[in-house]
Structure 1
């Protein structure tokens, strides 16, 4: 429905309503009451409120950075001083490099890669869909491969739970590291994205994507502002994500709260921009305040989409979609097909719910006991869950990383989904073949 109507909110709402009707035996009054209780419950969860707050406030930060003139200064420096960026390819490669280097948190990664790449899209008239593809295809994959972040904390916790419950005997950290080595989708997505940039490979709808002028960075500036008006807030965001992960994890980054870390990071960054921009007379206090409100208002619809995405995730969880699909797959399943089937199942659940983290939470407690019972490679099985979660998330129009990558690149969500899908499918096919081959070799 999202692809047909091009309205993500309408599609999410329809899915939520249908799911609640099914859960409440198509009783209208019971479904309305359930909807009220669902959204009330969501809005009382601290991590959801922090995530929504992050989505809104990050709009303020991006608007402030834009208003400061720091982006124009950065463009001027990269083009005229370093000569590093002088073509569409080098522009996209810069965003790709930023996406790979910044692995602290997928949302922050996508936002910063988008902020860095957007002015060069304007300069070289690169379709925003290409930038969104680069942001999305580096953020989650790199965050799931270099696990010194919230992704690692979640996966370590899920694996540790299986060990605690006596499902298997292993060292949780060693098993997590082994599993990451089988994260074939993340690896193939990074390689496919790099090749698509380097050789300018446009396939499917990407052939027809066009640049749309939104911001005014295409004009040459005679006296641009310092690029540090852009770099300092961005570097501060990267630094404070680690700091707050350390604080919320009581000294252990891997145990930190991702939602708290990114929320407190944007609050700290906003406070920094207030003192930095106003203190250096880059803008007045009134201008800072107005820009903050304009940026927040611009991203309020994104926060609504995220809220609805969380809601449909709750509904599919109540419907026990994941458990049902897993139960179908586990019947008469060959050991050679276990990893590949778990990859496909995880992809389907992630696509349906729009959340890779939710998929990990559903599938690891199902996949690990299944692998142990069949004497399959547990690390390979967990790798299949991680890969499938990211693959389905990449293809889903209701995924938070899909939405944030679109927002960071000034691209429509549905256009981003349609243009990225062929590349994601190629990476997914490579991963599927790898799971077949490795399972065959292992067994």
Structure 2
């Protein structure tokens, strides 16, 4: 009887040794951590062959940290208090593992985006600024090795950015959409759409409203919106005695405000490309396109600016320097002030003016994009759910692959535009593809900025900049004030740099994780956390447009002056009061109260009412010219 007992005893005594020989602890830590800032350590018991150990329930302990203890197989708030290299040892009584943790000063994590912002302000070179920020971040991560950091900019960050499937889809969509715009600009389609709208330009009010309606019709691209409307409407508004300052204001306001909020435009690929990585970073399963749609009613500045421009056009009332300019044009016949220096007298569009225009050449590709995009969202959504039986529209949209749908849509738009141009003998095959290539080229700068934005976002994420900002702001800032604060910062940055896209690229990777972490650390419920996240994303997009509108060095502001043949400083000086009023109202009734739960639709109604009141109580009617109908 003793031998079986001895056998059982020996068997159980060697089991730990066998387990120890056949398994190990795999410890995962960030590539670099911040001194004094919590980070996460994850432990995974694996077999010698690399498989996961099933049923592991041993008690883990850790040494080498200044703070943190295990909750299951992870430490959510591990801390090392000093910079340098630290050896962290994890053990369970039988197995043990060591890993090295390298800590850098916490404030280093925000230096890369700050350097990018500073360089953009000083040198006004967006690409150089972003590369400098990425290089600095990569150098910190590469143990302060400047050469290794520089090489990692390309081999690690750029390559990862362009080889990620969803991001590659966004790049291709953006290029294809630019190609379509190039074709419909060359084939007379853009001018054909504009010709239809201008037929309703009767009198000063009609002329101004025509400029704004045309902005809605040409929603697909802000540059085309500016160039076509300004050049086409200038002779008409001159005849109607509408000042060049007013024309440039209407042209500028309608361009980015429409393109940035349209569900299909040259902007959406870029915006989705910035939103998607942020959502992935915070562990959100929501599709970037769905989030984009939800942000639209929260974008108070572009929406209220558009509404305000329509109000001004319909009432023919103005205030401030714009009122003076309009009275001069209307009563003295001077569409520009004496001594004004127009940005240009003529601005040739890419389209050959002698080529016949056709609204069909412009409208058909746009309609095809909308139809295919919506159909693609439905098809991919049904496919994602495994069938549409019992599914709601919200379920289908949530399960859709918007990137694939937009790819299909942009390809269809290009195809329809080229087929119409060649089939109707407006362009030859070689001319059509030359126009398409020219359109692709127009998007190259945007694509480069987008790729670099992904890179600096990945680098600042690896440096855990959001964790540092949360630690600094936790308890010092009510999360409800984050949307309006984000709007102010984004506005200031866009104004100083003149680039709305650069502003979005630098701000978005920081504020999405910051909003999520700050809201959760404050103990807010899931609904409030989501509301603030939507508000913060909207504030980046809206603030970028506002700052861009006000900036004298913005490309769209300059293009608006050129296309309208207005004095550039006069354009900025007369537009600024209107933009400031709209921004203030948007913050007052939009960004602040919606963060506490007010519906954005109520905010838009309140904001519109306040702007109308400002126009009637502070503004004055311009009046009719003394000799109605006389050309300027």
Output the TM-score relative to the length of structure 2.
0.51
2:258 is the counterpart of 1:138: yes
Q: Kindly indicate whether the alpha-carbon contact (under 8 Å) linking 1:184 and 1:383 is maintained by their aligned counterparts in 2.
A: no
Task: Name the structure 2 match of 1:29.
Answer: 147
2:344 is the counterpart of 1:344: no
Q: Kindly indicate whether the alpha-carbon contact (under 8 Å) linking 1:237 and 1:265 is maintained by their aligned counterparts in 2.
A: yes
Relative distance call for 1:406 and 1:301 in structure 2 (3 A) is farther
Task: Name the structure 2 match of 1:19.
Answer: 137
Task: Name the structure 2 match of 1:46.
Answer: 165
Give 1:140 deviation, angstroms.
3.9
2:263 is the counterpart of 1:122: no
Deviations 1:243-263, CA, capped at 9 Å, x for gaps? 222233336224333433333
Task: Name the structure 1 match of 2:399.
Answer: 255
- Bigger relative contact order, structure 1 or 2 (CA pairs below 8 A, ≥6 apart): 1
Q: Kindly indicate whether the alpha-carbon contact (under 8 Å) linking 2:193 and 2:359 is maintained by their aligned counterparts in 1.
A: yes
Relative distance call for 1:307 and 1:349 in structure 2 (3 A) is same
Relative distance call for 1:312 and 1:255 in structure 2 (3 A) is same
Give 1:41 deviation, angstroms.
0.6
Q: SS of 2:382's equivalent?
A: coil
The whole-number CA distance in structure 2 between the counterparts of 1:210 and 1:294 is 28
Q: Kindly indicate whether the alpha-carbon contact (under 8 Å) linking 1:84 and 1:90 is maintained by their aligned counterparts in 2.
A: no
The whole-number CA distance in structure 2 between the counterparts of 1:163 and 1:43 is 22
Task: Name the structure 1 match of 2:588.
Answer: 433
Q: SS of 2:426's equivalent?
A: coil
Deviations 1:207-261, CA, capped at 9 Å, x for gaps? 999554443499987x833211111111112222212222333362243334333
The whole-number CA distance in structure 2 between the counterparts of 1:239 and 1:407 is 34
The whole-number CA distance in structure 1 between the counterparts of 2:255 and 2:161 is 28
Q: SS of 1:304's equivalent?
A: helix
2:197 is the counterpart of 1:78: yes
Give 1:39 deviation, angstroms.
0.8
What's the C-alpha RMSD, in Å, of the aligned pairs? 4.9
Task: Name the structure 2 match of 1:229.
Answer: 361
1:281 to 425, 430, 446: 425
Task: Name the structure 1 match of 2:208.
Answer: 89
Structure with higher helix content: 1
1:388 to 539, 544, 548: 539
The whole-number CA distance in structure 2 between the counterparts of 1:139 and 1:27 is 42
Q: SS of 1:118's equivalent?
A: helix
The whole-number CA distance in structure 2 between the counterparts of 1:219 and 1:428 is 39
Q: SS of 1:26's equivalent?
A: coil
Q: Kindly indicate whether the alpha-carbon contact (under 8 Å) linking 1:141 and 1:189 is maintained by their aligned counterparts in 2.
A: no
1:362 to 504, 513, 518: 513
Give 1:201 deviation, angstroms.
7.2
Task: Name the structure 2 match of 1:215.
Answer: 348
Relative distance call for 1:345 and 1:3 in structure 2 (3 A) is closer
Task: Name the structure 2 match of 1:242.
Answer: 374
The whole-number CA distance in structure 1 between the counterparts of 2:425 and 2:402 is 34
Which runs of no fewer than 5 residues in structure 2 stay unpaired? 1-118, 235-243, 264-268, 286-290, 326-339, 384-395, 494-502, 549-553, 599-632
Task: Name the structure 2 match of 1:172.
Answer: none
Deviations 1:59-110, CA, capped at 9 Å, x for gaps? 3212211221222323332224x447977623441244348xxxxxxxxx45
Which runs of no fewer than 5 residues in structure 1 stay unpaired? 100-108, 144-148, 165-174, 398-402
Q: Kindly indicate whether the alpha-carbon contact (under 8 Å) linking 2:381 and 2:398 is maintained by their aligned counterparts in 1.
A: yes
The whole-number CA distance in structure 1 between the counterparts of 2:444 and 2:294 is 40
Q: SS of 1:354's equivalent?
A: helix
**Greater mean deviation of Cα atoms: 387-396 or 277-286:** 387-396
Aligned residues: 400
The whole-number CA distance in structure 1 between the counterparts of 2:561 and 2:173 is 18
Task: Name the structure 2 match of 1:105.
Answer: none
1:63 to 182, 189, 203: 182
The whole-number CA distance in structure 1 between the counterparts of 2:398 and 2:341 is 40
Give 1:430 deviation, angstroms.
3.5
1:291 to 427, 435, 454: 435
Relative distance call for 1:297 and 1:51 in structure 2 (3 A) is same
Relative distance call for 1:130 and 1:26 in structure 2 (3 A) is farther
